[in-house]
Amino acid sequence: MWKDIFAPWRAAFEEAWEAFRTGSVPIGAALCDESGAILLCDRNRSNEADTVNRRISHAEANLLRRLDTSVGDLHSLTLYTTMEPCPMCMGTAVMAGIRHLRSAARDPYCGMVHLAETEPYYAEKRLDFTFELGEVELVQLTVQSYRELRYVDSGASPKVLDKFEAYMPEAVSAARELYAAKELDRLAEAGTAAGEVFDRILAMFG
C-alpha cells in the first residue's frame, strides 16, 4: 500500500506518474541525505516541450545535473530510482559521486547495475546498490509496460515490452488489461494522485 512505502519511493513514484502524465517514460528519482531528507526529485522528461535532447532526458541524469556538488559529502547521499539505471545514468551517478543507489525495479532491457561487480572501474568505487522489488517493482513495471504498449501501438518495436514480459509477465498482463480500457490515460487526464494510482494497480494483483 502507498501509505506503507518508504517516503523516498513515494517521491520517486510521484515523479514517475508526472512523467507518465506528460507522455514521457514513467521513471522518477529522488535524492536523500543521510537523515532521509529529500534533497532533489526529478523525472524522465523525454516528452516535455522544453526538452532539447529527448533521447537522454532520463530521471537520474536530470536530477544529478541539478545537484550542487558543494552540498557536502556526496558519498553519503542515496539515489532512489523507480527503474534500474541505464548505462548513461549508472555512469552519471558514479561520476557525480553517488555511492548509494536504490532501484524499485530491475530493468531487463538496459539495466546496468551488474557493471558494479563486473567492471573494474565501478567495482573500485564499492557501490552500495540494492533493489527494492516487491510492490514497487510490480507497479513500476505495470506502468512502464502500459507506456510500452502505447509505443508499440504507434508502430515501435516491441523489444522492450518483450523483455518485460519475459521477466515479469504478471505486470505486462495487468498493463494489457489497463491499456485495453485506456485506464491510466483516464486517471492521468482526471489528475489522479500517484498514490491512488499506485494502490489501484496493486489491487489488481490481489
Query: d(Cα 29, Cα 9) in Å, to the nearest integer?
Result: 8
Smallest separation, CB 60 to Zn ion (Å)? 6
Nearer to Zn ion, 62 or 142 (CB): 62
Select the residue interacting with Zn ion from 40, 63, 86, 201 (CB under 5 A): 86
Query: d(Cα 70, Cα 203) in Å, to the nearest integer?
Result: 43
Smallest separation, CB 177 to Zn ion (Å)? 28
**Catalytic status, residue 15:** no
Query: d(Cα 158, Cα 169) in Å, to the nearest integer?
Result: 14
Nearer to Zn ion, 93 or 172 (CB): 93
- Quick one: which segment of 66-74, 81-89, 175-183, 194-202 binds Zn ion (CB under 5 A)? 81-89
* Residue 21 touches Zn ion, criterion: CB under 5 A: no
* Residue 89 touches Zn ion, criterion: CB under 5 A: yes
In the region spanning residues 116 to 135, those forming contacts with Zn ion, defined by CB under 5 A, are: none
Nearer to Zn ion, 88 or 204 (CB): 88
- DSSP letters for 41-81: EEE--TT-TT-S-GGG--HHHHHHTT--GGGS-GGG-EEEE
Go through 5-19 and write b for each residue having 16 or more CB atoms within 10 A of its CB, e for each that does not.
Answer: beebbbbbbbbbbbb
Main-chain phi, psi angles of 86, to 5 degrees: -80, 180
- Site pattern 41..80 for Zn ion (x: CB under 5 A): -----------------x----------------------
Instruction: Using CB atoms within 10 Å of the CB of residue 52, give its burial: 0 to 12 exposed, 13 to 18 middle, 19+ buried.
Output: exposed
Smallest separation, CB 101 to Zn ion (Å)? 12
* Selected catalytic residue, list 15, 18, 60, 148: 60
Q: Which residues bind Zn ion (CB under 5 A)?
A: 58, 86, 88-89
The residues annotated with a catalytic role in the active site are 60
